[in-house]
A and B are shown apart, each in its own frame.
Chain A
Amino acid sequence: MVFCIIGLAIFGILGIFSAKYRAYAKEAWRCLSRQITLRPCDTDFDKKMRAKFAGKFMRFPKVSKAVYRAFPALSWAMVIMLFVSIYWTGVGVYNTIQYGNCNGPGSHEFCIFNPFETSELHEKISKMQPVAVSDDPSIGDPNSPVQIVEVGCFKCPYTKNSESIRQQLVEKYNGNVSFTFKAMALPTHNLSQETAEAALCARDQGKYWEYHDKLFEYQDNMTMEKMSGIAGELGLDGRFKECLDNRKYRAAVEQDYQESLDAGVFATPTYFINGKPIVGMKNFADFEQIVVGEIKGTCDTHE
């Protein structure tokens, strides 16, 4: 009976697209409805599925045997996961309807699906202005034809996941690309303000980018102690601790946050390539296409 529940959910969805799965969904439903009404399942749906799953691993007899024998336990695990998923989906739907964001009130985090967001998103992006860059850390020739500014948060997982793009761009288009990182310490992330301040403290000793990279490396288990530990790891002296303890860059980080908001940034990472905004993670190929276009455009203009 247990697998009939998960089978009904999975094959019910797949059945929308394929008649083959529709038949399975019907069997699962029949099995489930009969068992709920205390009648025996006459389709043997769970047995069929057990044999099909075990059959997939027949080349590996031990695995197959384990799947066959542990199938009831696996079914229970899948049903629990199903109900957990349903719960979180419900929470997301509620938040979306109530607050306009699947993550709840005040959140700026990314939602995979937001039916209300599409047109709103385009509108937001179209209203964005190039973010102010004054004293933010840069890498590459400042006179490069392509100026990229990334607005990111040291505690944002999406910013972390897009880090490799910066490294690849700077390496591949050295001389043509200048890259600036502007920290936007999102209040929804714990220690986002402190990490941004710490990175600027490291900059005082010429180790900004090294510290920046370490912050992302240890993002998942960041603490104040860890921040000091990184400083030690990079050979920063007592001035770092003093800087961090005295909150030397508190105002600067808050100013960066405000400047980002003023530019219309609403999610991290947001990139400005020669002032044109790109919101969210993109893959390297997408970036490369834009960067190459910008390089060519600049040359054409110069010609």
Chain B
Amino acid sequence: MNPEKIRQDFPLLERGIIYFDNACMSLKPRQVVEAMNDYYLNYPACAGRSVHKLSAKATEEYAKSRGAVAKFISAKTEEIIFTKNTTESINLVAKSLDMKGKTVITSDKEHNSNLVPWQMSDAEHRIASTLDDGSFDIDDFESKMNKKVRIVSVVHTSNIDGTTLPVREIAKIAHDHGALAMIDAAQSAPHAEINVKKLGVDFAAFSGHKMLGPSIGVLYGKKDALEQLSPFMTGGDTVESTTYNTHKFLKPPEKFEAGLQNYAGAIGLSAAIRYLEKIRMDRIGKHERELNRTITEQLEGTVSIIGPAHDKRSGIFPFNIGKTDPGEVAIMLDAQNIAVRSGQHCAHSWFADRRIKGSVRASLYLYNTEDECVQFTAAVKKIARMV
């Protein structure tokens, strides 16, 4: 893997910006933008509706995109539903599953998008704890399981500290108790190989915009799991036929894709997946962990790092400089042309529970380099001396 060569596909990086906010939004390579432009310029038509050539081409490319996403996570094509983003994917499950009298279990480090939809459901909500080192407390989780649990919905890789939960084990325990298992894969799908069959999950949600693609979401649903859902958004493209009083739904995935879809987004995501697969996901993850090690070794002792050792934090480096406001640190890094995120990263519950105001989060990706990490650590040290 050659980051210098990869960087040539990202024109923004030529401006000298150090982009370490990939957990929020990744940059887009030329190939993705060109694929989307190709749709908009050459066949900007509805897919699956009209019979003209442009529509046929759009239908073909949209179907190919679904196939590319399915292959990317080792799923079947009909198990892939396109949504607006991860949040909508999770909401689709939370609103479509009958939760009356049931229980849902999430972890204690969920993004608001995998917390609020369950708080709003009819289910009893239980929280499975993580340990002080950031790892998932499997015993605590198992002790909270019973036959009333309808679904276990947990983050795969945390956007707070980069730790990855033992999803395969969690899914097995859930299934043993007759529950479904869902993962929020927004932070894992862009950085590691995801095989939903091996993980054994029933649902997986992730977004295109964090993995070099445009703003589009994906919900993977195992066939028999999807059959348990009643769509919460209906209308055009979800039904086979209607009368004035009745309707007949299409089969999944169309059943859950109401209205005209984001075809350009799906096509762009497909291009992003091709790009990532060409480089290989295992290499990308390894590269990020190596960069994280460089940063960690340089800044240990200067800043307080949130989370476990660097090898368990994937490409995420969350930290604070003493009691300095994380927002101030991020602004001063921005003044040095380094883009990071600060605050509570849409995981207010975790920070509130630990009485932490927030953190500065540097998140890495395939186009980041050792040299950028050295510049970043120098900038952080400069700020630490200043405040």
Partner-contacting stretch, out of B41-49, B79-87, B254-262, B326-334: B326-334
Range class of the A interface residue count: 10 to 19
Interface contact B386-A64, CB-CB below 8 Å: yes
Interface contact A55-B386, CB-CB below 8 Å: no
Tell me if A47 is interfacial: C-beta within 8 Å of chain B: yes
CA distance A61 to B378 in the complex (A): 12
Tell me if A247 is interfacial: C-beta within 8 Å of chain B: no
A-B contact count (CB 8 A): 41
* A51-B331 contact given A44-B325, A58-B336, CB 8 Å threshold: yes
Tell me if A65 is interfacial: C-beta within 8 Å of chain B: yes
Q: Using Cβ atoms and an 8 Å threshold, which residues of chain A touch B335?
A: 51-52, 54-56, 58
Tell me if B387 is interfacial: C-beta within 8 Å of chain A: yes
Give residues of chain A (130-172) contacting chain B, Cβ–Cβ below 8 Å: none
Chain A nearest CB from B386 CB (Å) reads: 4
Tell me if A68 is interfacial: C-beta within 8 Å of chain B: yes
Interface contact A55-B332, CB-CB below 8 Å: yes
Q: Using Cβ atoms and an 8 Å threshold, which residues of chain B touch A64?
A: 386
Interface contact A61-B327, CB-CB below 8 Å: no
Tell me if A48 is interfacial: C-beta within 8 Å of chain B: yes
Q: Using Cβ atoms and an 8 Å threshold, which residues of chain B touch A51?
A: 325, 327-332, 335
Tell which of B330, B379, B386 touches A65, judged by Cβ atoms closer than 8 Å.
B386
Q: Using Cβ atoms and an 8 Å threshold, which residues of chain B touch A58?
A: 332, 335-336, 379, 382
CA distance A48 to B332 in the complex (A): 9
Tell me if A50 is interfacial: C-beta within 8 Å of chain B: yes
Interface contact B327-A54, CB-CB below 8 Å: no
Interface contact B331-A61, CB-CB below 8 Å: no
Tell which of A44, A52, A56, A68 touches B387, judged by Cβ atoms closer than 8 Å.
A68
Give residues of chain A (64-80) contacting chain B, Cβ–Cβ below 8 Å: 64-65, 68
Tell which of A47, A52, A61 touches B385, judged by Cβ atoms closer than 8 Å.
A61
Residue of chain B at shortest CB distance from A62: B386
Tell which of B327, B334, B382, B386 touches A47, judged by Cβ atoms closer than 8 Å.
B327
CA distance A266 to B312 in the complex (A): 81
Interface contact B325-A54, CB-CB below 8 Å: no
Chain B nearest CB from A23 CB (Å) reads: 15
Chain A nearest CB from B24 CB (Å) reads: 19
Q: Using Cβ atoms and an 8 Å threshold, which residues of chain B touch A61?
A: 382, 385-386
Most buried by A among B328, B329, B330: B328
- Chain B, residues 350-387, CB within 8 Å of chain A (1/0): the string is 00000000000000000000000000000100100111
Q: Using Cβ atoms and an 8 Å threshold, which residues of chain A touch B328?
A: 47-48, 50-51
Q: Using Cβ atoms and an 8 Å threshold, which residues of chain A touch B331?
A: 48, 51-52, 55
CA distance A86 to B334 in the complex (A): 34
CA distance A65 to B328 in the complex (A): 13
Interface contact A47-B325, CB-CB below 8 Å: yes
Q: Taking beta carbons and an 8 Å cutoff, which residues of B are in contact with A? A: 325, 327-332, 334-336, 379, 382, 385-387
Q: Taking beta carbons and an 8 Å cutoff, which residues of A are in contact with B? A: 44, 47-48, 50-52, 54-56, 58, 61, 64-65, 68
The contact sample of 7 A-B pairs, CB cut-off 8 A, is A44-B325, A51-B330, A54-B335, A55-B336, A58-B332, A61-B385, A64-B386
In the complex, besides A44-B327, A51-B329, A51-B330, 12 extra interface pairs with C-beta distance below 8 angstroms are A47-B325, A47-B327, A51-B325, A51-B328, A51-B331, A52-B335, A54-B335, A55-B332, A58-B382, A61-B385, A65-B385, A68-B386
